[in-house]
Structure 1
Amino acid sequence: MDHVVPLAEAWDSGASKWTPERREQYANDLGAERSLVAVSLGSNGAKGDKDPAEWMPPAKDATCTYATDWIAAKLRWKLTADRAEQKTLRAIAADCPDATVK
């Protein structure tokens, strides 16, 4: 299983200030359909703890879904996004006119 927003990225984006209980809730989040995603070991290893400025799914048809899932997770958990991450997500959004953040 892969966290859409990796644990280390969440930590750097605000989870470091959470209680241990809240971090555990995030790590085991089943409250959103795509917070945890089944992926291959190779894909998970390539992504690591990178944000969208550093890594995107190799399948171009997955770009919009991944970006909206990322944004939804960040908003849901009130996590921050750095400038490079924001810039990348804005650029992706421009190519995803029918995408909806859920």
Structure 2
Amino acid sequence: MPEGFPHQIPQPRLRIGDRVSWRPLPSQDFGTVTGLQYAPAEHLKSWAWRYLIWLDPQSPSHAWTCTDTAWEADLELLTTDQRNTTLEVGQE
């Protein structure tokens, strides 16, 4: 566990229900935050927030998976006019 856990860890930048996209990477995936965990991030050599993302049906990777995970630094909050689609429970 990280030192000072749980009282001295950074607050998550994103919340459940936030619409997000991956920062400019080869992927143009986007979706909704449905879960989060504070976990060891080997690439950062520290702990960080990792999010579970329910992919939008129009997201490129949705053709083969409904969810993905991403580290906080790899995500950005979508504005309301960006990819303004609606996800419904059970929609695939």
TM-score by length of 2: 0.26
Greater fraction of residues in strand: 2
Q: Which has the larger radius of gyration?
A: 2
Greater RCO (Cα-Cα under 8 Å, separation 6 or more):
1
The structure whose residues are more often helix, as a share, is 1
Q: TM-score, normalised by structure 1?
A: 0.24
